[in-house]
């Protein structure tokens, strides 16, 4: 990891620091003296848990699990399943924590994020950095030693892509930040596949393409809803730099592209008719949301589109999983 991050917080990664950190995590309540008055802090372990973005990580781990399942015809051995899920989960959580650390200032300004642990001061950046290092090192070690080196390095590259390339540079540099940076969040299906096979298979890359195509309309819908907040902190999201109407058009076009990409698992023989029906249905609904957002939007449409996009991806991968086991291809 770049030294600049750790130098910024003056972090020394020692056994004593880790011990202090672990003691703080299991402490449920502490008191601080502020102007001579004791003030209660929130449960510390929940703050550490929150900076890992557990709901986001759960979705990433789900797509990784589906990648694992689709890579082999039968059941997955638990000896590979458990360390793969833990390792991928730890490294994904570390990436999320670094995102919180880097975005501390803008999080304290934006209405959606002002109550995050680092933004409110409930969590110290130094301890958060140590926690992220602990997760990253542990996750990498688990994958490298108990799964395979390829999966470990690919997962670590995802952490670097999201935490440093996207969060530190792309997010603040270009309105195409989501389009480019979305690749880091799209690789979990590949990670699951390589965990089982120790190879990069074209079908795994097809799953990556599916998530990669889904990412821009998902995030742009949220960016429309939070346009003024992104503008206030000088983040060049597409609605800020090119306008809301242009962004709505891009979302609509991307849902058309997603419809086409969504057919590919069926067309290449990777899945069967159950997936085809599910993919067509979900993508048509996503397109309907995008159409309404473009031509008949109200104040809630952008957020409704964002929320459905999460359901869309989750349901799509669950259907892929059901199709794989209920209707195995030849």
CATH number for the domain spanning 192: value is 1.10.357.140
Do 164 and 106 share a domain, yes or no? yes
Residue 174 CA, distance from chain mean position: 19
Q: Show which of 168, 200, 232 is a domain's final residue.
A: 200
What gap in Å lies between CA 52 and CA 98, rounded to an integer?
9
Count how many domains the chain has: 2
The verdict on residue 12 lying in a domain is no
Task: pLDDT tens for the chain, 330 residues: list them.
Answer: 444 444 444 444 444 554 555 455 444 334 343 333 333 355 488 999 999 999 999 999 999 999 999 999 988 999 999 999 999 999 999 999 999 999 999 999 998 888 999 999 899 999 999 999 999 999 999 999 999 999 999 999 999 999 999 999 999 999 999 988 899 999 999 999 999 999 999 999 999 999 999 999 999 999 999 999 999 999 999 999 999 999 999 999 999 999 999 999 999 999 999 999 999 999 999 999 999 999 999 999 999 999 999 999 999 999 999 999 999 775
Do 276 and 322 share a domain, yes or no? yes
The verdict on residue 5 lying in a domain is no
What gap in Å lies between CA 40 and CA 35, rounded to an integer?
14
Give 245's contacts (C-beta < 8 A, 6+ positions apart). none
Alpha-carbon separation of residue 276 from 170, 263, 267 (angstroms): 35, 7, 9
Structural domain for 214, as ranges: 201-330
Do 229 and 189 share a domain, yes or no? no
> Residue 33 pairs with which residues in a beta bridge?
38
Q: Show which of 146, 169, 200 is a domain's final residue.
A: 200
Q: What is the dihedral of CA 177, 159, 55, 111, to 10 degrees?
A: -40
Do 54 and 92 share a domain, yes or no? yes
């Amino acid at each position: 990891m770049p030294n600049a991050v750790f130098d910024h917080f003056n972090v020394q990664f020692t056994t004593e620091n880790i011990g202090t950190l672990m003691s703080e995590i299991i402490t449920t309540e502490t008191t601080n003296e502020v102007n001579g008055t004791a003030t209660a802090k929130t449960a510390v372990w929940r703050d550490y848990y929150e900076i890992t973005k557990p709901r986001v990580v759960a979705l990433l781990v789900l797509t990784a699990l589906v990648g694992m399942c689709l890579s082999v015809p039968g059941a997955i051995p638990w000896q590979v399943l458990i360390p793969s899920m833990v390792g991928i989960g730890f490294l994904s959580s570390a990436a999320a924590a670094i995102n919180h650390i880097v975005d501390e200032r803008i999080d304290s300004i934006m209405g959606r994020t002002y109550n995050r642990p680092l933004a409110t001061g409930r969590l110290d950046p130094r301890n958060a950095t140590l926690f992220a290092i602990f997760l990253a090192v542990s996750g990498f070690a688990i994958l490298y030693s108990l799964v395979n080196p390829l999966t470990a390095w690919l997962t670590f590259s995802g952490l670097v892509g999201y935490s440093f390339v996207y969060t530190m540079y792309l997010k603040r540099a270009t309105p195409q930040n989501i389009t480019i940076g979305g690749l880091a969040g799209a690789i979990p299906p590949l990670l699951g596949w390589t965990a089982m096979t120790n190879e990069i298979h074209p079908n795994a890359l097809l799953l990556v393409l599916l998530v990669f195509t889904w990412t821009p309309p998902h995030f742009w819908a949220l960016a429309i809803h939070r346009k003024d907040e992104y503008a206030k902190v000088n983040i060049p999201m597409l609605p800020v730099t090119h306008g809301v109407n242009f962004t709505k058009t891009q979302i609509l076009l991307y849902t058309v592209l997603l419809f086409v990409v969504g057919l590919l698992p069926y067309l290449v023989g990777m899945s069967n008719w159950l997936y085809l029906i599910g993919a067509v249905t979900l993508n048509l609904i996503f397109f309907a949301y995008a159409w309404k957002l473009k031509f008949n939007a109200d104040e809630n449409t952008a957020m409704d589109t964002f929320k459905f996009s999460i359901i869309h991806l989750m349901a799509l991968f669950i259907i892929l999983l059901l199709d794989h086991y209920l209707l195995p291809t030849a």
